[in-house]
Structure formats: C-alpha cells, structure tokens
C-alpha cells in the first residue's frame, strides 16, 4: 500500500508558529511548577531544553521529522532527546487542542499589531501626497464619468478614511483574539489545580476563555482577521484600479516611479503598473482564504476536529499578502508624481461645472429642479455645438434663462470646489482642516497601535 502518512502532516507550515509554541510551553511549565504539579527542577530543565530548541530552529539545524506530523510533536520529541524524562511532564494538564489555539492566537495578535503599523504607514504616505499638492483641483467621478471638481488632497484623504476604518476593524478583532485558551485541555478542561490567570499574564493576554469546549473549537478570531484583511485588500484593490487608470495614456494623471512599473518584452514604450495590478489580483486570493475557512468551519460539530488544521495555510497566505501589500504601498505612494497641469486643466473644463451653473441660477432665486433642467438643455446645446459652456456668449445663455448675467463666467473649478464648504466637503479650508486632523491622528498614534 502507498504511504499516505503525508496527508496529515502540517509541519511544512505550522513550523512558522514555533516561537509562539515555545513561549506557550515555557509559560505552561512555569505555571505547573508554581502549582506544585511538576518539580522546579523539571521545569528548569524543560525551560533550558526549549531555549536550545528555539536556537536550533532559528539556526535551521532543528531535525524536523514529518513522521511526527506537526510542530507540537516535533518540539516535544526533540525535548525528550535533549533532556530525557522531564520532557514527558510538559504535556501534563494540556492538549494539542488548547496548545495550537494559544499558538495561533499569539501569532495573530502580533500580525494584527504589524498590520496596523503598516496601515498607519500608508496613511502617512497619503497625508504626504495630500500636503504636497494641497490645493490642486482635479476631476472627481461618478460612473467613471467626469462629475465635479475636487481637491487632489480630498481624494487622498478619502483613502485615508478607508484605512482608518480598516485599523478599527483590526483593533476590534484584536479584542477577541486576545483571549487565553490554555487550561481547556482537549475539550473539557483539565483535572489539575492549574492557574489560568497566571498563564494569561505570562503570555500577555488580557483575559482567559470562559468555556473549554468553545475555546478549543473557536477559530472566529482567524475568520475575523481574514475578513478585516479582505476589506483592507479590497481598499488597496480599489486604489490600485485608480492608479492603473490614472497612469494610462488616456488619463495621464500620474507617473509611478520606475521601481513600481515594468517594461514589456516587446513594446519598448510600456510602463506597466504591475504592482498595482498585482495588489488588485492578490485581493481575489485573500477573499478565497476567507471563504475557504468559513466553509471549512461551517459543518463542524463541537469541539476540535482535524479539519481545523486547514485554518493555517490560508491564514498565513492572507497575512503575508497583506504585509507585503502594505510594504509596497508605503514605498510606492511617496514616489507617485501628479501631473498637476493636466488634472487641474480637466477639472476646469466647463461640463464639469454644470452643477455650479445650476447652483448659480438657484442663487438668483430659481428652484433647483428647474435650474437642473435648464443646465441639462444647455449642456446638450453645447455638446451639439462642440463648444464649452465658458465659450458660450451671454446672449446664448440668456436664451435659456434671463437670470444669466456676466458673472456666470466667474465660475471655475476653484470656485466650484470652494463652494462645497461644509464639513466633509472639498472646499480648501475644509480639506486643510481634515488634513490637519489626519496629521494629528497619526502623531497621536505614533508608529504603534
Ligand atoms: N496540527 C493540529 C492543528 O493544527 C494540532 C492539533 C491536533 N490535535 C489533535 N487532537 N490531533 O490543528
């Protein structure tokens, strides 16, 4: 019969949890000794052995053995080789079910903290871009049709807001990840007088899990991490789509630095925005990781089932993808060059100002709905003539409404943006205030959480 033992093996990927596994074991041994469940001498030997193992893994001299299936068995077996009988006492009052949970929770907590740092870095880059081109107007879009002028800084701060919400989702997810499951044993708890609060304190958890059966079968924190990561990748994907469009010849809004574009093997003129395209592409795989785990979990009865071993590959994949995407955007955004002349030129094209012309009539007493209808007619008229609204003689304007006067020519992209002077609007004063607010927020957050 063929050897199928490989099917159950997880060390190829769960070895990434080695630091967390060793930290968990050290805390467990210390607690067992404190409680008089094992001797201080055994605990000291276990601690010593685990330190050696950590060094061996770090130095890549650790003898990984697939026959031992997973990380936990590999470490325990090696501990036995190193210290002998005392190693056999480490697994007292513990199961791999609560062990793997604590490992993954520790790892997820670290990943969340790193992700938030990266998101702060991206926000910082956006604030930098916004500040560099603070009062530049550009076309804003709906339906990817030119709609109304907006400040470039306002555009950048829109993404700042998205990433701010992402940070909130990660911080929220952290609360439910930050729960210490050791002491749940296989599923029912353990038959020794252990000290779970001590374990939580040793390992830096804020609280202990309330129900042993839930604790060993709960992977909600991974699902939530994947969900938060998916939403964040969705934001990066949307921004990537924007960068792809903006760097095209048709838009010509931006130029990405050579470090983040590539040439074509056949077309010498090409500067392809591969990094943005790949961020957009990788987003699909991250969604797959989320759907994969949700599907894995949906049919599982309590408590631990081996299916749950399948939580890790998708988790690592999504975490790595987010990490590298955050690194790429932190490096790519500051090097993005905006073609100020082009974007402000397009923002000033008269069809972008149709709403402002309607507002102009409203200012002279006309109901908005009526003004809207007149501007619709005027726009059509100009389209047929292939002429801009600004180039239309006043007599022509007056055929549509007697309210038009010479000051109609004072409407520009800048006056349009300036008019949107309410909280959340694109008026320069509002955007400057939002930018100051964003900077304050980043300063208060520092590089940390
Ligand atoms: N490798 C397993 C996992 O990742 C560890 C827990 C195994 N527990 C068990 N009873 N087989 O889920």
What does the DSSP 8-state code read for residue 180?
A: E
pLDDT tens digits for range 56-109: 999 999 999 999 999 999 999 999 999 999 999 999 999 999 999 999 999 999
Q: What is d(CA 257, CA 149) in angstroms, rounded to the nearest whole number?
A: 26
The total of other beta-carbon atoms located within 10 Å of residue 334's CB is 14
* Residue nearest (by alpha carbon) to ligand 1 atom 12: 309
Looking at the predicted structure, is the pLDDT value of residue 375 above 70?
A: yes
Distance 99 CA to ligand 1 centre (A): 9
The total of other beta-carbon atoms located within 10 Å of residue 116's CB is 22
- Any atom of ligand 1 within 6 Å of the Cβ of 100: yes
Q: What is d(CA 21, CA 426) in angstroms, rounded to the nearest whole number?
A: 51
Buried b / exposed e over 37-72, threshold 16 CB at 10 Å, is: bbeeebbebbbebbeebbeebeeeebeeeeebbbbb
* Residue 182: both structure tokens together: 């050791």
Task: Answer for the pair 233, 281: CB distance below 8 angstroms, yes or no.
Answer: no
Position 268 scores a pLDDT of: 74
To test the pocket of ligand 1, the residue of 187, 305, 309, 313 to mutate (highest count of ligand atoms within 8 Å of its CB) is 309
Q: What is d(CA 252, CA 247) in angstroms, rounded to the nearest whole number?
A: 6
416 given a catalytic annotation: no
pLDDT tens digits for range 246-272: 999 999 999 999 999 988 777 777 789
- Any atom of ligand 1 within 6 Å of the Cβ of 70: yes
Position 264 scores a pLDDT of: 75
Give the fold, CATH level 3, of 349-411.
Ribonucleotide Reductase Protein R1; domain 1 (1.10.40)
* Residue 358: both structure tokens together: 């309607």
| Per-domain boundaries in the chain | 7-92, 97-345, 349-411
Q: Which of 399, 385, 391 is nearest to 350 (CA)?
A: 391
Position 447 scores a pLDDT of: 60
To test the pocket of ligand 1, the residue of 74, 97, 311 to mutate (highest count of ligand atoms within 8 Å of its CB) is 97
Q: What is d(CA 183, CA 27) in angstroms, rounded to the nearest whole number?
A: 12
Bond prior to 303 in cis (omega within 30° of 0): yes
Q: In DSSP terms, which residues pair with 142 in a beta bridge? A: 145
Confidence of residue 412 (pLDDT cuts 50, 70, 90): very high
Spacing of C-alpha 226 from chain mean position = 10
* Residue nearest (by alpha carbon) to ligand 1 atom 11: 306
Confidence of residue 389 (pLDDT cuts 50, 70, 90): confident
Q: What is d(CA 53, CA 1) in angstroms, rounded to the nearest whole number?
A: 35
Task: Answer for the pair 131, 335: CB distance below 8 angstroms, yes or no.
Answer: no
Average confidence (pLDDT) over 439-446: 94
pLDDT tens digits for range 35-52: 999 999 999 999 999 999
Q: In DSSP terms, which residues pair with 228 in a beta bridge? A: none
- Three-state SS for 126-152 is HHHHHHHCCCCEEEEEECCEEEEEEEH
The hierarchical CATH code for the domain 7-92 is: 1.10.275.10
Ligand 1 nearest atom to the CA of residue 312, by list position: 4
Task: Answer for the pair 182, 24: CB distance below 8 angstroms, yes or no.
Answer: yes
Active-site annotation holder among 264, 265, 372, 379: 264
Task: Answer for the pair 96, 120: CB distance below 8 angstroms, yes or no.
Answer: no
Q: What is d(CA 279, CA 332) in angstroms, rounded to the nearest whole number?
A: 12
Q: What is d(CA 391, CA 351) in angstroms, rounded to the nearest whole number?
A: 11
Position 448 scores a pLDDT of: 61
Four-CA torsion 424, 428, 433, 439, nearest 10 degrees: 100
To test the pocket of ligand 1, the residue of 10, 15, 100 to mutate (highest count of ligand atoms within 8 Å of its CB) is 100
Ligand 1 nearest atom to the CA of residue 186, by list position: 10
Q: Which of 337, 325, 353 is nearest to 420 (CA)?
A: 353
264 given a catalytic annotation: yes
pLDDT tens digits for range 261-310: 988 777 777 789 999 999 999 999 999 999 999 999 999 999 999 999 99
Position 350 scores a pLDDT of: 77
Measured CA distances, 189 to 31, 180, 196 (Å): 16, 13, 11
Position 3 scores a pLDDT of: 85
Average confidence (pLDDT) over 153-160: 98
- Any atom of ligand 1 within 6 Å of the Cβ of 309: yes
Average confidence (pLDDT) over 226-252: 98
Q: Which of 236, 81, 65 is nearest to 163 (CA)?
A: 236
- Any atom of ligand 1 within 6 Å of the Cβ of 427: no
Q: What is d(CA 360, CA 338) in angstroms, rounded to the nearest whole number?
A: 31
Instruction: Say what percent of the chain tops pLDDT 70.
Output: 99
Position 192 scores a pLDDT of: 98
Task: Answer for the pair 96, 90: CB distance below 8 angstroms, yes or no.
Answer: no
Ligand 1 nearest atom to the CA of residue 10, by list position: 1
Average pLDDT value over all residues in the chain: 96
Average confidence (pLDDT) over 411-419: 94
- Any atom of ligand 1 within 6 Å of the Cβ of 76: no
Q: Which of 77, 82, 74 is nearest to 103 (CA)?
A: 74
Task: Answer for the pair 356, 328: CB distance below 8 angstroms, yes or no.
Answer: no
Ligand 1 nearest atom to the CA of residue 14, by list position: 4
pLDDT tens digits for range 315-358: 999 999 999 999 999 999 999 999 999 999 999 887 789 999 99
Query: What are the residues whose beta carbons fall under 8 Å from the beta carbon of 354, sequence distance 6 or more?
Result: 375, 378, 379, 389
Measured CA distances, 375 to 24, 147, 408, 410 (Å): 69, 14, 13, 17
Q: Which of 368, 390, 363 is nearest to 379 (CA)?
A: 390
Ligand 1 nearest atom to the CA of residue 308, by list position: 12
The hierarchical CATH code for the domain 97-345 is: 1.20.200.10
pLDDT tens digits for range 167-189: 999 999 999 999 999 999 999 99
Q: What is d(CA 21, CA 104) in angstroms, rounded to the nearest whole number?
A: 9
């Amino acid at each position: 019969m063929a050897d199928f033992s490989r099917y159950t093996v997880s060390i190829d990927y769960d070895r990434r949890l080695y630091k967390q596994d060793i930290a968990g074991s050290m805390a467990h041994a210390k607690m067992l000794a404190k409680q008089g469940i094992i001797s201080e001498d055994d605990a000291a030997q276990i601690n010593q052995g685990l330190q050696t193992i950590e060094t061996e893994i770090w130095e890549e001299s650790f003898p990984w053995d697939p026959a031992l299936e997973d990380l936990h068995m590999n470490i325990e077996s090696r501990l036995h080789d190193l210290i002998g009988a005392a190693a056999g006492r480490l697994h007292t009052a513990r199961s791999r079910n609560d062990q793997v949970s604590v490992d993954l929770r520790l790892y997820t907590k670290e990943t969340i903290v790193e992700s938030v740092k990266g998101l702060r870095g991206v926000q910082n880059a956006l604030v930098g871009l916004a500040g560099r081109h603070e009062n530049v107007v550009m076309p804003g879009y709906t339906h990817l049709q030119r709609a109304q002028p907006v400040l470039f800084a306002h555009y950048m701060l829109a993404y700042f807001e998205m990433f701010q919400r992402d940070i909130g989702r990660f911080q929220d997810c952290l609360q439910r990840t930050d729960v210490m499951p050791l002491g749940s044993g296989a599923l029912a708890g353990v038959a020794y007088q252990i000290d779970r609060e001590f374990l939580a304190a040793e390992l830096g958890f804020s609280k202990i899990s309330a129900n042993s059966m839930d604790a060993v079968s709960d992977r909600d924190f991974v699902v939530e991490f994947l969900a938060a990561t998916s939403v964040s990748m969705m934001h990066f994907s949307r921004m990537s789509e924007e960068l792809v469009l903006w760097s095209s010849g048709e838009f010509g809004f931006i130029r990405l630095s050579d470090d983040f574009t590539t040439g074509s093997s056949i077309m010498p003129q090409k500067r392809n925005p591969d990094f943005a395209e790949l961020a957009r592409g990788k987003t699909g795989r991250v969604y797959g990781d989320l759907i994969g785990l949700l599907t894995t979990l949906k049919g599982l009865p309590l408590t631990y089932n081996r299916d749950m071993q399948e939580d890790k590959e998708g988790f690592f994949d999504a975490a790595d993808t987010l990490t590298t995407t955050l690194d790429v955007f932190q490096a790519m955004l500051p090097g993005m060059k905006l073609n100020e002349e082009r974007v402000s030129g397009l923002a000033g094209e008269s069809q972008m100002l149709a709403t402002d012309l309607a507002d102009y009539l409203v200012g002279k007493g006309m109901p908005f709905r009526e003004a809207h209808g007149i501007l619709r007619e005027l726009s059509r008229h100009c389209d047929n003539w292939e002429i801009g609204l600004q180039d239309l003689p006043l007599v022509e304007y007056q055929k549509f409404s007697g309210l038009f006067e010479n000051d109609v020519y004072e409407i520009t992209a800048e006056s349009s943006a300036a008019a949107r002077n309410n909280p959340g609007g694109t008026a320069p004063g509002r955007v400057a205030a939002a930018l100051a607010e964003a900077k304050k927020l980043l300063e208060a957050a520092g590089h940390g959480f």
